[in-house]
Structures are given as structure tokens and as C-alpha cells.
A and B are shown apart, each in its own frame.
Chain A
Amino acid sequence: MSFLDRITEGWRKNRKPGYYEEFDYHWAMTIDLDQCSGCGACVTACQAENNLPIVGEDAFTKGREIKWLRLEHYWEGEYPDVKLNVIPMMCQHCDSAPCETVCPVSATYHNQDGLNTQIYNRCIGTRSCAVYCPYEVRYFNYNDHAWESPLDQQLNPDVSVREKGVMEKCTFCIQRIRQAKDNAKDDGRRRVRDGEVQPACVQTCPTKAMVFGDRNDPKSQVSQSLNDPRAYKVLDELNTHSSVVYLKKVEAEG
């Protein structure tokens, strides 16, 4: 295929925005805030699955924790009529992500599954993506991290350990998605079945408040859950078109 053909081909293919909608998958997640109990199981599950470093108390004091998935707490009202609203906040995998455009080396971009990628070994650490992300879910490796032996034996071999100077964030457990596709190919299937792949947080959620799946498949559980009247997106007014959709908390009367 000649050079010129590739140019024209690429031009034709990638002319219009959001064309990845046409691809096989468009992963999305819903989180039911009325079921979430804020227990934090998802946080630890994420840390265990994705080789998140144990940064230590010092780093926490400096505000350098690395938690791809964090729980945000919002108090409402004063004693005795006080409520606590907890919301899990992770990379929203926006379809028009502010962080993607700013990366000078395309270390973060939108892949054909509608995922917001982060390629560690391409990252040069300008940290601009973290600035541009309104959800502040991008975390930077301010130094190399150590796992005191034998803790390192737990490290997940499917996930790279990030070196200093690299940005990282939630990947929707891409290693699991790839594994699921792999299995699908083994079975000679073209597509991954609904529910076949679950990120660590979704899998472990004790209240089953999180649902993950393919938005392009109208029958998938997540698609149905997206139609829930309670569905809303955080900071929707910013037009980030995020792939993580929350279901409103229910204020019961009396």
C-alpha cells in the first residue's frame, strides 16, 4: 500500500469526530450511588489489581497518593440533619477528553474501544493532562516506588510497573478487557459476552453498585442501566461526554 494511499485512506477514515462509535465496543460503567455504601473495597481491589504503589505516609502528607479510584466525601447539612454523600471517582474515559488533546506526544488518546488510554512508556511527564482533567483522576509518579520483599511477589504480571516521571490513571482494567477478548478469540467468538469482563472494582463491589459493559450493545446490562431515569454524569456541563455514568442517590421522604 503506497504512502499516498495510506494518507488518503487515513484521511477518509478519520475525518469525522467520535468515529470510534462504529467500532465493536464502547465500554462504559454505571455506579448506583443509592447502593454504594462507601466501604472502599473497590479502592483496595484497584490497588491490588493494577500494581498501585504503597506510597507511604510521607507521600500522603505531601498529597502524592496514587489512587486510580478514590472515594469523594461530601457532607450535607448540619447536625442533627446531616447526610454524607460518597461518590467513587475514577477516570471517566470521556469521549471528548480534555486530557487527550493536550498531550504533546500522544501518550494519552482515545482508542477504538472508546477508552481513554494512557501509555506509560510514551509519557514524558509534562503533567498537563492532569491539569486539563476536570475530575483530577490522573496521578503522577513523583518518584520510583518500592515494594518491600516479598510484597513484590504479589505484583500483577499483566500490568507494567510505572517508573518515576510517568502519569497514570484508571484503565478500566485494560488487561482484563484484553484477556476477555483473548478468551473470546479462543472460543472463536468475535465479540466478548456481556458480563464476561469486569474491572477489579466492579467485580469486588459488595453492593453490586457498579455495572460495567459495552454501550454499543443495546442488550447489555450497562446499556439498560444507562437508561435508568436516575442516570446523570458528573460535571456534564463541561461536555466531556464521560463513559462513567452515576445513578442519582434517592432522598427518601421521612
Chain B
Amino acid sequence: MPNIDRRDFIKLVGAGGVGVGAGVVLRESIKHPREHLIPHVLAPEDYSSGVATWYNSVCSMCSAGCGISVRTREGRAKKIEGNPSHAVNQGGLCAVGQAGLQVLYNPDRVTGPLLQAAGRGSNDFTQITWDDGLTRVASRLDVLRAAGRGNRVAVLTRGTSGHLAELLEAFGQGLGTDRLLHYDYDHPHALHVANQRFFGEQQLPYYDLANTRHLLSFGADYLAGWLSPVHHSLGFAQSRHGGDHRGHFVQIEPRMSPSGAAADEWIPARPGTEGILALGLAHHIVASGHYEGDDVDAWQEVLSAYTLARVAQETDVSESTLRQLAESFANTRPSLAIGGDGAANNSNGVDTLVAINALNYLAGNVGEMGGVIFNPDPGGATSHSRQANYQTLAQLAESARSGEIDVLILNDANPVFTMPVASGFKAALEQIPFIVSLSSFIDETSALADVVLPSHTYLESWGDAFPEQGVGFSIGAVSQPVVAPLYDTKATGDIVLDLARRVGKPMPWNSTEECIKDGWNKIYQESDSNTKTESFESFWTALLKAGVWGKKNHRMTETSRPNANTIASIGVDAPTFSGDAEVYPFVLQPYLSTMHDGRAANLPWIQELPDAMTSVVYGSWVEMNPKTAKDLGLTEGDLVDVESPEGAVRAPILVYPAIRPDVIAMPIGQGHTNYGRYASNRGTNPLEILSPVVDENSGNVASNATRVKIVATGKHVEIVKTSGKSRDLGRDIVQTTGGDDHTAQTNSIPITVIPT
């Protein structure tokens, strides 16, 4: 040991001290901090911590009305899954349905009543109390109602079905207004009209994809956007591998949709000529004697003009293909023809769909398993009667301009986004002195509101749904709150009830729940006695548990005969397009993307979901045939202006192998200017530049009837997509096998009915 003098000693002590200090700090820094255990004040009955609880409800992301089961833990919604016992989706659920959670937990939700004092569109909202907000609205309504001028109040809601719709009806009556409009951009107006005209049916028929063996789809993207995608997907799968025989699917559309990709044949007919093609097939079927009805002569006469030769020439589909199509359609039993989206959104939309109905009729698919089956009257109200088409909204705008409307009540409808700029709808709304919005989000339309009375999301509130397209029998489901409301919001129904009370027209219910229960009580009373439970309460709890209700009231074998003048009225004119073909060489086809009509654009999961066909995320694009692109000297990512007679939007080119050279396609959904952090100022909205070409029969805008031209800007952007190279260079990654005889076991669950 060396002799340590004082200095050394101090050094030693110092070193030791520092060392110890360092040691303590070290361990404290790597130690886990203390957490807290916060117990309940009052233990809830319906869940225990660490154990998941499931609630059955209804998905309201689109109008298909799928049943959902929501997994909750510690009172928070964790996951949405399809309700296996619900006949519409049988456990399946689409991406948007999954993303419903992000509607509930969206950071951009309106957290309480707001007042936009600083002027419309300023986005400068101030928090107000519910009472304040309601009084502001009620006072105005009260004055108008008292003066008997309730008609100066307009209610514009997103498509609501079930008893909530009835509640709104009652509210409208109470106010004395008939300006109660449901608005969904993608509501199948043409289909309703066509079926009304040909079959005389109020309801949409049920298209039995599951049992058909030959599907002819005229532009209907039944797997992604059309009516009830999940149910169609189930049917598709069932038909492909459910039975002993593999169903054959043909898709006729100018731009390949997901359904087109899944189909066995994809036939790019000239846009708008689907109806002519259908009649061509009909002509062949009748001419070749496949149809033996006693009215065959009438048919022959009306169809005589549509010879295969002419049709081939007009539709740009080879005659042989047409003949072969007609043959297989007539010979394969059962077969089914459906039409929608691309085919319906033309100036001749309704005629086209009528033609398709005729085709079904002539091939004998009406009232057949695997064909067109008529739906019974649904248990609850559906909203088609009130659905506003383009013309209705135009009228609304007109009356707003001429100052006939004092108050507009908005509920989750966003027409400012989906109406073409040419319609001048936005400007018209601004004429209305007072606008109140019940939306949960500030979207383009709500941005015009003076007062925002935010409503619950569908996961927080009561409701019910009776799927419009149905499943061949009456079916409905109750949507119950699965979590306690996050924010200071109210259920739409409760707000309306409150308003009604304040304007002195109280309704028989105190809450939405009561209203719903009341409605279901009626259904319970009507339900046939043998399956009746002993009390409504037990029925109600059973209903909530099952999450679905159905009634064995199929109209399987029913068919209908068109009368002489119906037959005579059949005929499809060539489609009309806005703009001169010389100046505007391309037809623009805006199609529904995963974001639906744009309402899902504020959900990050949907923004990050690669597009089904192009795997693009975050943004919009212009789809163009490789040949066209080559001619125009454009490559992927080149920024172009898509100019229509009405205006222009700017988006990058995406070379798309499966689209007609004379057609340009753009996805709907992006291009929001004011819809939360995830959607705003991203991509472009093709609907803006649509020309107001209207299908006179349906009164709805023909969204595929706008011609455009492409103007290169010389700029280039990188399209954000997850795909590298979308060609497998002979690497057999996706392997295929020929032949039709595949007897794989079914993966589909047979449709179940919960008896009442």
C-alpha cells in the first residue's frame, strides 16, 4: 500500500463519491417509473378488466347495412368484425367497415356544440353550450312553424334507413316542411326507376349471385362498390367454389374494376353502349329461339333493330364474342345479368338497366334461384322515397337562391363535395340565412354551417337498418352503442327530438332508444305467432344479442310479366356526352374508390390501404391506357390537367393496362378541402369538373357523360404506391390452372335466418 498523503486521500474520496453517484444515477435511469392503478368507483356489470366484451351492431359506413360485432376492452372499442349470424355479410366485412373505429376515435371529431360567428367557411368556431346551440336553432324554427312557413326549413341528411328515418319524417311533418331530403352520392336511382318500370317493383330485387352459374355484369362493380359488396363477395365465392360447378363471370365495362379483375372475361365495350349490347344479346336470344313466350313477336319487333352486326359496330365488341356471350348466357342455367355504376351513370342509364332487366326476363332468370328474386317489403322504412337525386338538389339550390329557404338542417350529408361545381350548389347554400349541421365532422358542407350540433358516431348511438338491396327475405338489425360517448355530443335522434320539443311539436318518444324500441315493438307484434317469444323484452334482448332479425318470407318463385307497352318502350339510344369529341377526345369515368363517395377519406387506415387495382395510397391519379399514354408522350407520374367544358383538375398520370384507349378514369374520394388532417388538401376530386348531364328518366347526373382533354403540365410527381414492378417475370408467383371442373369444398357459410 503506498503512503497516501492528504491530497491523494481527497482524490480517493472524491473518486469514490463520484462513482457511487454515477452508480445510483445509472440504475435510477434504467429503472421503470412507477405507474398507477385506477380502479372503478362502481364496478360495471358488463365487463371485467382484461376480458373482452363483444357487442353486435350495424355498420353505417355505407348503405349496405352489414352486421358487425365490436370487440371492447375496458370500455374501449378495439376491433370491428362482421357478425357471422347476419345474413348480409355472414362474418365478412370490408376495409371501410373495419375502419369504422377511426370514425369513433378520429382526432378531427367535433367535440361539442360550435358556433361559427366569424363567417361561413372561416373555420373559426367557438364552443357553445348545448342549450345555447339548441335555442339558437329552435328559436328560428319556432318562428317559422308558428308562422306556418315551416316549408322554409330544409332538412338534408345522409341516407338514413330504419326508424331514425321515420323519426325525421315525423319531425318534418311537425315543422310542416316537405323539404326532407336524404342524399347519398351513390344511391342507385336509375336502378330503382328501371325496376319500377320493368317489374313494377318498389324495392330493389335481390340478385342471387350465390346460386348463379353465369353472371353478366354490365359495369356493376359488385365486389367493391355496388349496393352490397360484402354480400356479393360471399355470393361470388359461393358461385365460384360453393357448388359442384364453377360459376362463370363476365364483366362488361370500359375500365377494369376489381370485379372485372375477378371475372373470367373482361369485355371493354364503348362507354354508354352497355344497354345496346344487352339488347343485342336479347335480340340474338329471341332470334335464335331460346325464348318461347307468347309475346315473342312483340319482343322480336322491338329488338329487330339491334342486330349483332350493328351492336358489334356500336359497342366495339366483336360479333363472335357477342354471339358466344348470348349463347352461353341463354344456355347456362341459372344465369344472371346485372347493371350498375358504369352502365347506369350515363344519359341512357335507365334505358340500359331496363334493357338488362329485359335480358334477364328473356333468359328466364326472373324469379329463379340464381337469378333475379323479388324482395319482400322490408320490416322497416327504407329511404328511397326520400332520396334526393341531382335534380332534386338542383331544385333545392334554386329555391335557396330565390330565398325560399330560411333554415337548412344538415346531417352528415356532404353534397358540396359530391355535387359538380357547375351546379353552383355551394353558392346557393350560402344564400340560406341559417344553416345548422348535425355532423360529427367538419366537412365541406358543414363548414358553411352557422351552428354545429355534433351528433354521436354510429358506435355511440342507437339506430337500426333494413338493408335496401336485401337478401331475398326481410332482414333488419339494431345498432346499439358499444362505448360511452367520447365527447360532449348527442345522438342525432335526440337532437331532433329535443328540437321538436322546443318548437312545441313534441314527439311520443323521449329518446332515440325509445323510438327504435317502439318501432321494433310493432315488428314484434307483426311477427308470426309460432316463432314469437313470450315478451317483447325477451325478443329485444335476443335481438340485441343476435344483432340481426330476419323473417322467412321469400318470394322465390314470384315472377312478373312486362305488359305490351313496357315491351314497346324498350330501347336504348346512343349516349350523349358533354363537350365536343374533337376538342375533348376522352370520356371521363369517375369511379367509387375505397373511400366511397369521399366520406371515408378522413380515416388513416383507408388512406393507407393500397388501392385494390393500382396499390396507390394517399392521393389521386388519372388512369390511362398505355397506348394513349405513349401517344401523348406521358409516363407514370406526369402531372396533367384534366380539362372538361366545366373546368379542370390536376393529377398525375398512372398508366393502367386495362382501360379503353378513349377513356380516362379517376377515383372519387380524394380532393377534400376541409375534412380533417388526414383528408384535407390531398389529391383531387373529379366530380368537380362533371358537366351537369342528367339522365332524364332517373333525374340523376350522368357522371360518366363528361368528355375531357388531357393537358400536360410538364411537371412530374412520384405517385406513392406500394407496388414495385407489377409483372411477374415468368416467376409463377400467381399460378393458374385451366379447366372448369373444380370441386373444392365450400368456404362459404349458408345463409342463416334468425326466426322471430
Chain A residues in contact with chain B, CB under 8 A? Answer: 32-41, 43-45, 47-49, 54-55, 57, 60-61, 65, 67, 70-76, 78-80, 82-87, 148-151, 153-157, 200, 203-209, 211, 221, 224-225, 228-230, 232, 234-235, 246-254
Contacts and interface: CB of A to CB of B under 8 A. Distances in A.
A154 B101 contact: yes
B610 A40 contact: yes
Given A35-B747, A150-B486, 7 more contacts: A38-B258, A48-B79, A65-B608, A86-B612, A87-B734, A207-B233, A249-B736
Contacts of A32: 241, 744, 747
Contacts of A235: 733
Given A41-B95, A73-B723, A79-B658, A249 B734 contact: yes
> What's the dominant secondary structure at chain B's contact region?
loop
Interface of B: 73-74, 76-82, 89, 91-95, 97-99, 101-102, 105-107, 223-224, 229-230, 233-234, 236-237, 240-241, 246, 248, 256, 258-259, 261-262, 264-266, 268, 324, 328, 486, 594, 604-610, 612-615, 617-619, 625-627, 657-659, 661, 677, 682, 718, 720, 722-723, 726-728, 733-740, 742, 744-745, 747-749
B261 A38 contact: yes
A250 B737 contact: yes
22 contacts: A32-B241, A37-B224, A37-B259, A40-B95, A54-B608, A57-B607, A57-B682, A60-B617, A73-B613, A74-B733, A75-B726, A78-B626, A154-B105, A155-B78, A156-B78, A206-B94, A206-B230, A209-B237, A225-B744, A250-B740, A251-B738, A253-B740
Contacts of B604: 54, 151
Contacts of A36: 262
Given A35-B240, A39-B229, A156-B78, A252 B262 contact: no
Contacts of A151: 102, 105-107, 604
B734 to A, nearest CB: 4
Nearest to A86: B261
Nearest to A246: B735
Nearest to B109: A150
Contacts of B609: 40, 43-44
A80 B246 contact: no
B615 A253 contact: no
Given A79-B625, A85-B734, A208-B234, A153 B608 contact: no
A33 B658 contact: no
B92 A41 contact: yes
B608 A60 contact: yes
Contact of B98 (A45, A155, A208, A234): A45
Contact of B733 (A84, A87, A154): A87
Contact of B658 (A84, A203, A204): A84
Given A83-B261, A148-B107, A150-B105, A35 B237 contact: yes
Contacts of A78: 626, 657
Contacts of B224: 37, 39
Q: Lowest 5 A-B CB distances belong to which pairs?
A: A206-B233, A206-B92, A85-B734, A208-B747, A207-B237
B615 A73 contact: yes
Contacts of B736: 85, 248-251
A60 B605 CA distance: 13
Contacts of B80: 48
Given A33-B734, A49-B79, A57-B618, A252 B740 contact: yes
Contacts of A70: 610, 722
A88 B328 CA distance: 32
A70 B723 CA distance: 10
A250 B95 contact: no
A123 B734 CA distance: 32
A253 B675 CA distance: 47
Contact of B738 (A48, A84, A224, A253): A253
B281 to A, nearest CB: 15
Nearest to B95: A44
A78 B630 CA distance: 14
A156 B72 CA distance: 10
Given A71-B610, A153-B76, A252-B246, A37 B236 contact: yes
A39 B258 contact: yes
A235 B618 CA distance: 31
B521 to A, nearest CB: 34
Contacts of A40: 95, 594, 609-610, 612
Given A38-B612, A43-B610, A75 B94 contact: no
Nearest to B747: A208
Nearest to A62: B720
Given A35-B747, A71-B615, A230-B744, A254 B324 contact: yes
Contact of B79 (A61, A156, A208): A156
Contacts of A205: 92
B718 A157 contact: no
Nearest to A224: B745
A157 B78 CA distance: 9
Given A249-B734, A254-B265, A225 B236 contact: no
Contacts of A67: 610, 722
A248 B734 CA distance: 7
A104 B292 CA distance: 76
Contacts of B268: 79-80
A70 B617 CA distance: 13
Max chain B CB contacts within 10 Å: which of A207, A251, A254?
A: A207
A150 B107 contact: yes
Contact of A41 (B93, B682, B726, B728): B93
B221 to A, nearest CB: 10
Contacts of A83: 261, 266
B716 to A, nearest CB: 14
A251 B626 CA distance: 24
Max chain A CB contacts within 10 Å: which of B615, B682, B739, B744?
A: B744
